[in-house]
Amino acid sequence: MRARSLVLVWLALLLLLALSVGATFLPIGGWRHGISIGVGFVKAGLVLWFFMKLRTAGGLARLSVLGTLLFLMALILLVWIDYASRSSYRGSGIMTGEPNAGSTSTHFS
Amino acid sequence: MQRHEPYPTLERQREADQLGMMLFLGSEIMLFGALFAAAFGLFLQHTPDVEAASGRLNLWLGGANTIILLTSSVFVALGAEARGRRPRRLVACFLAAALLGILFLAVKALEYAREYDEGLMPGTAHAHFASGPQQLFMNLYFAATGLHAVHLTLGVVLLLVLALRERWRPATAAAIENAALYWHLVDVIWIFLYPVLYLTRG
Amino acid sequence: MMGWFGATLPEASSHAVRVDLLAAAFSALTVVLTLPVFVLILVFAIRYRRGKAVNREHAPDRNIWLEVSWSVIPFVLILGFFIFSARIFFDLHRPSPSALSINVVARQWMWKFQHPGGQREINELHLPADQPVSLTMASQDVIHSLYVPALRLKQDVVPGQYATLSFTATRPGIYHLHCAEYCGSDHAVMGGRLIVMAPRDYAAWLGHADRATTPAAAGAKLYRQLGCSACHAQGSSVPAPSLAGISGRRVRLTDGSTPIADRQYLHDAILYPNRHVVAGYRPVMPVYARLIDEEQTTALIAWIEAMKEERR
Amino acid sequence: MNASGEGLHDAPREVDPPRRTPAEASSYIADGYSLRSWFVTTDHKRVAVLYLVSITAFFFIGACAAALIRLELLTPAGDLLTNEGYNRAFTLHGVVMIWFFLIPSIPNVFGNFLLPLMIGARDLAFPRLNLLSWYIYVFAGLFTLYVLLTGGVDTGWTFYTPLSSTYANGHVMAALTAVFIVGWSSILTGINFIVTVHKLRAPGMTWGRLPLFVWAHYATALILVLATPVLTITLILIALERLLGIGIFDPSLGGDPLLFQHLFWFYSHPAVYIMVLPALGVVSELVAAAARKKIFGYWFVAYSSIAIAVIGFFVWGHHMFVSGQSMYASTIFSFLSLLVAVPSAIKVYNWTATLYKGSIALNAAFLFAMGFIGLFVLGGLSGLMLAMLAIDVHVHDTYFVVAHFHYIMVGGAVTAFLGAVHFWWPKMFGRMYNETWGRISAALIFLGFNLTFFPQFLLGYLGMPRRYHVYPPEFQALHVLSSSGAFILGLGYGLPLIYLFYSLRHGDPAEPNPWGATGLEWTVPSPPPTHNFEEVPRVENEPYDYALRHDESIG
């Protein structure tokens, strides 16, 4: 890969960084977090693809990165499912589970 | 470059070195990945606190550090590109990247000092937090950035060694490539640490 | 049900009967799935042992359909059991609204129980038969787990989180009660007895039992002692949300979310008030986490819940 | 060596076997006898022997702890050990057996020794890394010994928070350090195996020609590389919590103890497959060699190893059904756990089918393999029972769980380990052991094991919680049964140590291929020369291409 392309990738990375910092100041609620993480994935993708040469690397190297990400995503996804559906109140507005039926209905004489 | 015992060809040995490095980087991804999972769990449980605590971090210093690391990465990529053909460019690029790495650590130290002054460093005498989860977030911040800094320091040492000995005992292609891969991965980890820690502000 | 070697395990609830049925049926499935393997291995090992002259021609070395069938058929059978067992599991988490509410606090190394009328017990729990019961459990230190084998029930109690356990014991008797999650030195003796009584006997026991103040009354006293009313009473100088009738309602927080003010919410709101601030108020309430323990917190919550009763 | 010759070694001998055979004189063992020659070796075979010695030592340390536990449980009262003493004994038993015996057992001894031989390579991909991984293991082992000698640790091997982070007062930091360090040994081994399989296969050794042992170790290595770091970081977080109180898992700061359990089991459930997958690989080899037949459904068995490794990452939540985890998450985890049954069942049924029309040698190695299948099947199906939500609520954290995982890890992994020892002993050391004693020990172990652990299924279902040294008296009969079984089991484990050692000096020299098995490792002398192969072999045959011997078959 030629030096010029590497520098172009670098410029793209800086642009993306500006984008994610900029998004932090937008009044769009929780989407900000989504955008900054999403931009993070794009930046990481660029670094992996061009700097770490996955572009020209064999399938094996690509597979090892993808496979690792698959297991990491499984960890995060399944932990998220647990938190998002725990029955007790956990402070965030994300929870979707039904409230703890046992405790609201109890009463003391 | 010399062929070692178990390998039939030099090419195969290089492939093996590269694959071994990729696997090691995979295990590094899982190492930090578990930290990200912990940060995500904290965010889900205490969104307002995390947003408040994240707001106390210095977005601009963190951003400057991101720029520094991205730039160092492009230097490492350029240096690795020049391997074999333009050894002096390789040395220059790696030295530049290592210096940027040191700059990153310096900025990080500055940040830590400011956080200490603001009472954001847990365990210190005048630390004070609005709530437990905010303290947790700061703890996680120090653990994650500290671990990252350790990795970065190793990377700086690696780059310096490779650059300085290039003159009389050039490193093998595999060593150069693998050092570059390692450096880029440390960069990738920071690419995620930055939004997760600094940009999750409310 | 089982009587091997002198050990027995009574079925003290209809849930226990269902679990035993499930376990017995699954054991039968186990036999169905394994017996052919064991028998065939033995038969082959004898019939085809080396040196014996038998027909060994045309031995197959693959058969896709056979292999697919012995992967899929057992899986489908097991899937049926999965659905059966998940239904029982979901029923456990659907407590009856008329349940008798018992407060439980676990600590190294004892179980403390308190009945709605204020009667307290340690390591012993008296309960009426045929009456739905709901335990609200908190831990003072490490993770414990309330385990009553006769009910086939167990629930971990994680510090910082209320756990509930709902059941209806149907058979009077005295049963073991254990801590099932390893909790340190005296884990093995952190247990006692569950005493299920006929409802009339239970009523009589309640009359005799050491009767402290009710949780709500204790909570009311604490409420005054800690000076909660200084802010939470209407018209007080420092504005704080009114607590009357808050229990069970949805609360709007500064971050825009609207959780239900259940026990876990109230628990966290007392111990860690800044974790969720009600919309329109400032986070000025002191943190009570190091000032009061789980029992006192439970009492305060009981009083807040009782305030809801008063309003009606 | 032929079908009728297997009793040969039991026959009385006229002459003592030679002290040193020609094969031995040019073998890897003859490379040097000084301690130094062993400690600086990078030969995968020598590293394997180093591991064999060290894991055996740790096995007996762990076994001593087990003996103390079983002795204590003979009576319902706590009369032999104090509560603290008992807690330290089972913690030590768990830590030593899991991280210092089971996880390195088959991979680091037989994987190290056999992977290069089986795929036609001269060594592992990174020989120096391999030796380094042994040193890391030993270094971690020293920490464990330090913990043991200075009074132990009482957190349980699971290190659950907040007990381990805030309340426990034994040598928690040293124990955490030991496990943290040994993790790096695992990661390096995993990387080494994966690269070896990818890059060092001999010409013609396609993926479809790999022995199933290699497939199983490849799958194991994937777990080693990807799961271990999660444990590493989790232990770092606990250590930081103890040292600095950073409190990620501390409820008083708003941290979540269940997050620890998620991270811990994300490693520790796959870790079970680290222990059992290599065992499955061993048994595939043993069954095929004993039956002298191509394994039934090679591809199903090969891919089932990969499937177990991959699915194994998605099932950890079944350790948390009663922990306060969301019931919806529990249901998902319960379902995913059942999926593991499919590849496991494939293996068992395919082994059985392999025996059909085989020419089965009932030697010690095969007896161990048969024992493995029986115990693994029971362990696996009791595992399915534990994956059933309603049943797990009852038997979680009881002796039912203890029985289940001992069926998998001891009945499964240790039996397979011994099977491997008996099968490859002649290859490793060039001597035949006494076949009769081997069979006796296999039988003793099978008997003793079932007597020890089957009563524990009953105990668990009847409501006996685990980690109790004091228990209700009605459980005594079953506990006594279990302890007496443990005595027989101990005898069974002690025996091989004696006759195998004896064989090193007095055993008959082994031929290159004493069992008449296929596989490249049987084409080289026993014990193999330092560089394994005179010239790199070229593979042209399918795996397990046992020819039907017409002299053995009528019809």
Q: Which residues from B are below 8 Å from A93, CB to CB?
A: 47
**Contacts of C among chains (3+ CB pairs under 8 A):** A, B, D
| A52–B185 C-beta distance less than 8 A | yes
Specify the pLDDT at position C50: 87
Residue C292's pLDDT band (cuts 50, 70, 90): confident
Amino acid at A25: F
Which residue, among B17, B19, B137, B139, would best test binding to D if mutated, counting the most D CBs under 10 Å from its CB? B139
Q: Can you tell me the distance from the alpha carbon of D425 to that of D364, in angstroms, rounded to the nearest whole number?
A: 12
The answer to whether residues B91 and B176 touch, using CB atoms and an 8 Å cutoff, is: no
Domains of chain B, each with CATH number or no CATH: 59-119+137-193 (1.20.120.80)
Specify the pLDDT at position D302: 95
- Shortest distance between the Cα of B38 and any Cα of chain D, in A, equals 7
Asked if the C-beta of B52 comes within 8 angstroms of chain C's C-beta atoms, the answer is no
Q: Can you tell me the distance from the alpha carbon of B92 to that of B98, in angstroms, rounded to the nearest whole number?
A: 10
Specify the pLDDT at position C302: 86
Burial of C28 (0-12, 13-18, 19+ CB in 10 A): exposed
Specify the pLDDT at position B173: 83
Asked if the C-beta of D373 comes within 8 angstroms of chain C's C-beta atoms, the answer is yes
CA distances in angstroms from D508 to D53, D496, D515, D528, D544, listed in the order given: 22, 16, 14, 16, 27
* pLDDT (mean) for D487-494: 94
* pLDDT (mean) for D150-167: 89
Q: Cα torsion for D404, D408, D409, D415, to the nearest 10°?
A: 130
A97 pLDDT more than 70 = no
D13 pLDDT more than 70 = no
Domain residue limits, chain C: 10-50+60-92, 100-208, 215-311
Residue D128's pLDDT band (cuts 50, 70, 90): very high
Length of chain C, please? 312
Mention every residue, 6+ apart, whose C-beta is less than 8 A from residue B75: B93, B94, B96, B97, B100
Note the helical H segments in chain C.
14-47, 64-92, 199-208, 215-225, 229-232, 263-271, 294-311
| D329–A85 C-beta distance less than 8 A | yes
CB count, 10 Å around CB of B84? 10
Specify the pLDDT at position C312: 40
Q: What confidence tens digit (pLDDT) does each residue in B32-89 have?
A: 999 999 999 999 888 888 888 998 899 999 999 999 999 999 999 999 888 878 888 8
Beta bridge partners of C166: C134
Rounded to the nearest 10 degrees, what angle do helices B10-45 and A59-85 cross at? 10
Percent with pLDDT over 70 in chain C: 95
Q: How many CB pairs (< 8 A) connect B and C?
A: 25
CB count, 10 Å around CB of D143? 20
Which has the minimum average pLDDT: C241-250, D132-141, D294-303, D354-363?
A: C241-250
D103 pLDDT more than 90 = yes
Please tell me chain D's helix, strand, coil percentages from 3-state DSSP, rounded to the nearest 5: 70, 0, 25
| CA-wise closest residue to C298 among C177, C197, C200, C162 | C162
Mean pLDDT of chain C: 86
Specify the pLDDT at position D1: 37
Q: Which residues from A are below 8 Å from D317, CB to CB?
A: 78, 82
Asked if the C-beta of D317 comes within 8 angstroms of chain A's C-beta atoms, the answer is yes
B164 pLDDT more than 90 = no
CA-nearest residue of chain C to D478?
A: C5
Q: Can you tell me the distance from the alpha carbon of D444 to that of D456, in angstroms, rounded to the nearest whole number?
A: 19
CA atoms within 13 A on the CB side of A12: 16
Q: How many CB pairs (< 8 A) connect A and D?
A: 45
Which residue, among B31, B46, B74, would best test binding to A if mutated, counting the most A CBs under 10 Å from its CB? B74
3-state DSSP assignment of residue D432? coil
| CA-wise closest residue to D168 among D69, D82, D254, D242 | D242
Domains of chain D, each with CATH number or no CATH: 43-546 (1.20.210.10)
Residue A89's pLDDT band (cuts 50, 70, 90): very low
Q: What confidence tens digit (pLDDT) does each residue in A9-30 have?
A: 999 999 999 999 988 888 877 7
Which residue, among D88, D377, D394, would best test binding to C if mutated, counting the most C CBs under 10 Å from its CB? D394
Percent with pLDDT over 70 in chain D: 95
Q: Can you tell me the distance from the alpha carbon of D450 to that of A39, in angstroms, rounded to the nearest whole number?
A: 57
* pLDDT (mean) for C17-30: 93
3-state DSSP assignment of residue C196? strand
Beta bridge partners of D553: C54
Mean pLDDT of chain A: 77
Q: What confidence tens digit (pLDDT) does each residue in D317-342 have?
A: 999 999 989 999 999 999 999 999 99
| D313–A87 C-beta distance less than 8 A | no
Specify the pLDDT at position D55: 96
Q: What confidence tens digit (pLDDT) does each residue in D539-550 have?
A: 988 899 887 766
- Residues of B (100-119) whose Cβ lies below 8 Å from A: none
Specify the pLDDT at position D100: 95
Which has the minimum average pLDDT: B88-102, B105-119, C133-147, C244-258?
A: C244-258
Residue D26's pLDDT band (cuts 50, 70, 90): confident
CA distances in angstroms from B156 to B46, B151, B182, B187, listed in the order given: 36, 9, 11, 12
Q: Which residues from D are below 8 Å from A96, CB to CB?
A: none
| C263–A92 C-beta distance less than 8 A | no
| A78–D317 C-beta distance less than 8 A | yes
* pLDDT (mean) for D204-228: 95
Residue A103's pLDDT band (cuts 50, 70, 90): very low
Length of chain A, please? 109
E strand or H helix at C163: strand C163-167
Q: Is the dihedral of CA C183, C185, C189, C190 positive or negative?
A: negative
Residue C161's pLDDT band (cuts 50, 70, 90): confident
Max Cα–Cα distance, chain C, nearest Å: 101
| C255–A89 C-beta distance less than 8 A | no
Q: Can you tell me the distance from the alpha carbon of C30 to that of C25, in angstroms, rounded to the nearest whole number?
A: 9
By DSSP bridging, strand C192-197 and strand C120-122 are: unpaired
Cis amide leading into D527 (omega within 30): yes
3-state DSSP assignment of residue C98? coil
* pLDDT (mean) for D248-263: 89
Q: Can you tell me the distance from the alpha carbon of C228 to that of B122, in angstroms, rounded to the nearest whole number?
A: 30
3-state DSSP assignment of residue D81? coil
Q: What is the DSSP string of C121-140?
A: EESEEEEETTS-EEEEEEES
| CA-wise closest residue to D221 among D193, D179, D183 | D193
Q: Can you tell me the distance from the alpha carbon of B164 to that of A49, in angstroms, rounded to the nearest whole number?
A: 28
Note the helical H segments in D430-475.
435-461
Owner of token pair 């607590």: C243
D480-493 core/surface letters (b: 16 or more CB in 10 A; e: else): bbbbbbbebbbebb
Q: Is the dihedral of CA D459, D461, D465, D471 positive or negative?
A: negative
Q: Which residues from D are below 8 Å from A98, CB to CB?
A: none
Q: What is the DSSP string of C6-74?
A: G------BHHHHHHHHHHHHHHHHHHHHHHHHHHHHHHHHHHTBTT--B--TT-----HHHHHHHHHHH
Q: Which residues from A are below 8 Å from C255, CB to CB?
A: 92-93
E strand or H helix at C110: strand C110-114
Owner of token pair 């120090």: B142
Q: What confidence tens digit (pLDDT) does each residue in C227-239 have?
A: 887 888 777 777 7
Mention every residue, 6+ apart, whose C-beta is less than 8 A from residue C94: A101, C166
Which residue, among D326, D327, D334, would best test binding to A if mutated, counting the most A CBs under 10 Å from its CB? D326
C299 pLDDT more than 60 = yes
- Residues of C (195-254) whose Cβ lies below 8 Å from B: 253-254
CATH architecture for segment(s) C215-311: Orthogonal Bundle (1.10)
CB count, 10 Å around CB of C20? 18
* CATH level 3 topology of C100-208: Immunoglobulin-like (2.60.40)
C29 pLDDT more than 80 = yes
Which residue, among A88, A90, A92, A96, would best test binding to C if mutated, counting the most C CBs under 10 Å from its CB? A88
Owner of token pair 């799935």: C33
Q: Can you tell me the distance from the alpha carbon of B149 to that of B141, in angstroms, rounded to the nearest whole number?
A: 12
3-state DSSP assignment of residue A92? coil
Asked if the C-beta of C272 comes within 8 angstroms of chain B's C-beta atoms, the answer is yes
Q: Can you tell me the distance from the alpha carbon of B24 to that of A35, in angstroms, rounded to the nearest whole number?
A: 29
Measure the CA angle with vertex C227, ends C225 and C231; round to 5°: 160
By DSSP bridging, strand C124-128 and strand C192-197 are: parallel
Helix (H) and strand (E) counts in chain A: 4, 0
CB count, 10 Å around CB of A92? 22
Mention every residue, 6+ apart, whose C-beta is less than 8 A from residue C149: C9, C175, C176, C178, D394, D398, D462, D463
Q: Can you tell me the distance from the alpha carbon of D496 to that of B21, in angstroms, rounded to the nearest whole number?
A: 40
Specify the pLDDT at position D554: 63
Asked if the C-beta of D477 comes within 8 angstroms of chain C's C-beta atoms, the answer is yes
B107 pLDDT more than 80 = yes
3-state DSSP assignment of residue C119? strand
Q: Which residues from A are below 8 Å from D326, CB to CB?
A: 81-87, 97
**Contacts of A among chains (3+ CB pairs under 8 A):** B, C, D
Burial of A93 (0-12, 13-18, 19+ CB in 10 A): middle
Q: Can you tell me the distance from the alpha carbon of B178 to that of B173, in angstroms, rounded to the nearest whole number?
A: 8
- Smallest Cβ distance to A33: which of B34, B37, B200? B200
- Shortest distance between the Cα of D271 and any Cα of chain B, in A, equals 15
3-state DSSP assignment of residue D537? coil
* pLDDT (mean) for C63-85: 90
3-state DSSP assignment of residue D71? helix
3-state DSSP assignment of residue C95? coil
The answer to whether residues D403 and D454 touch, using CB atoms and an 8 Å cutoff, is: yes
Q: Could you tell me the pTM of the whole model? A: 0.91
Specify the pLDDT at position D15: 56
* pLDDT (mean) for D478-492: 95
Tell me, rounded to whole angstroms, the distance of Cα D554 from its chain centroid: 40
Q: Can you tell me the distance from the alpha carbon of D122 to that of B5, in angstroms, rounded to the nearest whole number?
A: 7
Mean pLDDT of chain D: 91
